[in-house]
Amino acid sequence: MNILVTGASKGIGNAIARELQNVGEVYVTGRNEHALAACNAKGFCVCDLSKDINNLAKFIADKNIDVLVNNAGEYIYAALETMNIADIQRLYQTNLIAPAYLISKAIPYMKDQRWGRIINIGSISGVMGEAYASIYSSSKAGLTGLTKALALELAEFNITVNTINPGWVETELGMNSIEESEFSQQEIMDTIPQKRFVKPEEVAKLCKYLISEDAKGITGQSINLCAGLSVGI
């Protein structure tokens, strides 16, 4: 199994990369070379998904990646009318266009061997919507549509495609997004039924399960890992 985890420099991606190292050969990508080297992965490719990703596309083909975890993402908390075109394009490029393109480069090898696993890390904001995060929410919602359609296309090749939608996760990105919002950490905690933030390791372990043969019947699904946040109040 040749696994690629995007956005593995820190947070959820780093937890996923470490969790999967006893499953197969793990490769990682991100913007921080020093952090990638510290992952102790089989290899890495330095790449900014908001820019030129052709080098990463070639890396996927060269390494025969058959498990792709699209984790990298970017978040902006702002009213839509205050955002410029560069910010809008960067978020869609990083959160939706790049994952779609990377999947397109992994599919040929997966089809050839008639096996593959694609996991997209979405967000509960893509399920429920989040005020002042419209571009982020819509880009993550797009991953769900991509997942469902590709699951249908690829099912006959024994390739599964799923999305995991984390809620508030105890990561640097998660905590920074709280600071950017108008709510305090306690106010946000009060909206979560389990009164806690999800741990990155929980997402990593779910990825590990979805890769396994025990999960071969799970495809086209959008799985909310959110401590109950999506259920209601």
Residue 44 DSSP SS3? strand
In the set 27, 75, 92, 136, the catalytic residue is: 136
Which among 177, 174, 179 is positioned nearest to 198, based on CA atoms?
174
pTM: 0.93
Instruction: State which fold the 2-225 domain adopts.
Output: Rossmann fold (3.40.50)
Look at phi and psi of residue 212 and say left if phi exceeds 0, alpha if psi is from -120 to 50, else beta. beta
d(CA 223, CA 203): 11
Q: Environment class of residue 35 by beta-carbon count within 10 Å: exposed (0-12), middle (13-18) or buried (19+)?
A: middle
Query: What are the tokens at 83?
Result: 């955002």
Q: Which residues contact 33 (CB under 8 A, 6 or more apart)?
A: 44, 46
Count the alpha carbons within 13 Å of 10 in the hemisphere toward its beta carbon.
13
User: For the chain, what's the residue count?
Assistant: 233
pLDDT tens-digit readout, 131-180:
999 999 999 999 999 999 999 999 999 999 999 999 988 877 666 666 66
Q: What angle do CA 57, 6, 124 make, to 5 degrees?
A: 125
pLDDT tens digits along 117-144: 999 999 999 999 899 999 999 999 999 9
Cβ–Cβ under 8 Å, residues 44 and 36:
yes
Dump pLDDT digits (tens) for 178-214: 666 667 778 888 888 999 899 999 999 999 999 999 9
Q: Is 136 a catalytic residue?
A: yes
Boundaries of every domain in the chain: 2-225
